[in-house]
Amino acid sequence: MRFTEKVLKDPVHDEIVVDDPWIWDLINTAAVQRLRRIRQLGTSYLTFHGAEHSRFTHSLGVYETMRRVLAAFKRQSGWPENPREQKLALAAALLHDVGHGPFSHTFETVYPIHHEEWTRRILVEDAEMAAVLAEVDSDFASDLIGILGKRGNYRTVEQLITSQLDVDRMDYLLRDALHTGVNYGRFELGRLIRSLVLADGDVLLRESGIHTAEQYILARYFMYTQVYLHPVTIGSDVLVGNILRRAGELWEAGELQQTPSFLQALFLDQGDVSVEEYLAIDESTLLYAFRVFAGVKDPVLSDLACRFLNRRLFAPIVRAEPSPEEWAALRTAARAMGFHPEYYISGRYAAVSAYVYRGSGIPVLLTDGTKSELSRESRLVRSLIPDKEYRLFLPKEMVEGDHPMVERVQSILYGTGRSQPL
């Protein structure tokens, strides 16, 4: 049957065009379709109620952005000349996130194998995926893994997938800004693509595109400070991590008999988990697990799961990292209020790198043909400096209410007892 070009409507790019039946087959593999059941922004939907978009929509968006960049380079310089290299670029864009687990990076704080390793395993161990990739040739999957791992064999494609100015970031900034309802994550994508140029196999920014790149860098900066590192979202991530840690400890002790068999892969050594078992875990199965956990006898796991399901999140406190004496006092107060300190008091640093230029900056092609780097040419970019702050997360009941220990906790946290959490 003759393949008909597919045009998918998209809220960011308007249209996503699939004119290659092989790409369409990749999109319709079970491993890629699973990404529909994994949110792009993890627990951010508890902070920004519109952030329900999926890794699947983002993956399609990265594919479309790559397709447009390749078309621009083809018109500009004839690259890529090789149809196989074009397939590698498009497949890398589409499949770069295929190994993500539920709640994405939060999942990785509990389980030691990161999504990049699962992506590699899926590309070679999932029978359906491996069969589609092998339709190109027997080395295609290996070359694709090399691109995602930045081995240097396809330098241009690697830069387009992972760099300070890559198609992944171009899509997620626009998509995340749209679905969270913020304006500062937006920039002129079409103009940015037209500002890219190839020189000796490297992707550079034209000097005339510096202001567009500044817009893009600022969008990224504000999305990190206002969305990705929002204290409520980080607190939600902490809660998910504590649920999984507590459930794992109970399972190892044989005290979590209610766990459905398909969820037991959560608690195995990740090296013993098959790709098939891993792909069976997505956010729908994890939320089902939380519903099961909410009904167990263990009061800690039950309460943590109920807190997440009913959005009774931890309070984020922005302050200096507690001293050993303050930690001890907070743990004592938590026990007195009935909270297990290992699961109800947590601290995290949130760091914004602003713009990284040492070894990985955005190269600029100047009008005289020489090369520079964006921070040297942009005073605005130079003015962005890394920043970080410490957040303490604990139940709101510990910092507000009528419990006699609340005033003690407030005095530890603020000194005055009058300040309030964010």
| Same structural domain, 183 and 212 | yes
Confirm whether 358 is domain-assigned. no
* 78 pLDDT higher than 50: yes
The pLDDT of residue 363 is: 95
Of 89-103, 133-147, 359-373, the least confident: 359-373
Last residue of a domain, one of 198, 213, 229: 229
Q: What is the 3-state secondary structure (H, E, C) of 46-79?
A: HCCCCCCCEHHHHHHHHHHHHHHHHHHHHHHHCC
| Same structural domain, 179 and 202 | yes
The pLDDT of residue 392 is: 96
| Same structural domain, 237 and 225 | no
| Same structural domain, 161 and 238 | no
| Same structural domain, 213 and 251 | no
The pLDDT of residue 359 is: 63
Confirm whether 363 is domain-assigned. no
User: pLDDT tens, 118-153?
Assistant: 999 999 999 999 999 999 999 999 999 999 999 989
Domain that holds residue 71: 6-229
| Same structural domain, 64 and 81 | yes
Q: Which residues have CB under 8 Å from 146's CB, separation 6+?
A: 153, 154
User: pLDDT tens, 384-398?
Assistant: 988 899 999 999 999
Confirm whether 370 is domain-assigned. no
Q: How many domains does the chain have?
A: 2
CA 63/CA 12 separation, integer angstroms: 13
Give yes or no for a contact between 39 and 53, defined as CB atoms under 8 angstroms apart. Answer: yes
Classify residue 228 by its DSSP letter.
Answer: I
Q: Are strands 387-394 and 363-365 parallel, antiparallel or unpaired?
A: unpaired
Q: Which of 97, 124, 100 is nearest to 114 (CA)?
A: 100
| Same structural domain, 48 and 122 | yes
State the average pLDDT over residues 252-280: 83
Last residue of a domain, one of 229, 248, 278: 229
| Same structural domain, 266 and 403 | yes
Find tokens 């699947």 and name the residue. Answer: 56
Phi, psi (deg, nearest 5) at residue 39: -70, 145
| Same structural domain, 110 and 207 | yes
User: pLDDT tens, 320-356?
Assistant: 999 999 999 999 999 999 999 999 999 999 998 778 7
Percent above pLDDT 70 for the chain? 97
CB atoms within 10 A of CB 319: 16
The pLDDT of residue 107 is: 79
| Same structural domain, 260 and 225 | no
The pLDDT of residue 256 is: 87
Confirm whether 246 is domain-assigned. yes
Helical H runs in 152-265? 155-161, 167-180, 189-194, 210-223, 231-252
Confirm whether 397 is domain-assigned. yes
Q: Which of 198, 188, 191 is nearest to 70 (CA)?
A: 198
User: pLDDT tens, 153-187?
Assistant: 999 999 999 999 999 999 999 999 999 999 988 99
H or E stretch including 389?
Answer: strand 387-394
| Same structural domain, 81 and 204 | yes
| Same structural domain, 169 and 89 | yes
State the average pLDDT over residues 236-250: 94
Exposure of 24 by Cβ count < 10 A (0-12 exposed, 13-18 middle, 19+ buried)?
middle
CATH classification at residue 332: 1.20.1250.30
Q: Note the residue count of the chain.
A: 422
Confirm whether 366 is domain-assigned. no
Angle between helices 406-414 and 324-336 (to 10 degrees): 160
Last residue of a domain, one of 179, 207, 229: 229
CATH classification at residue 123: 1.10.3210.10
* 419 pLDDT higher than 60: no
One-letter amino acid identity for 21? P
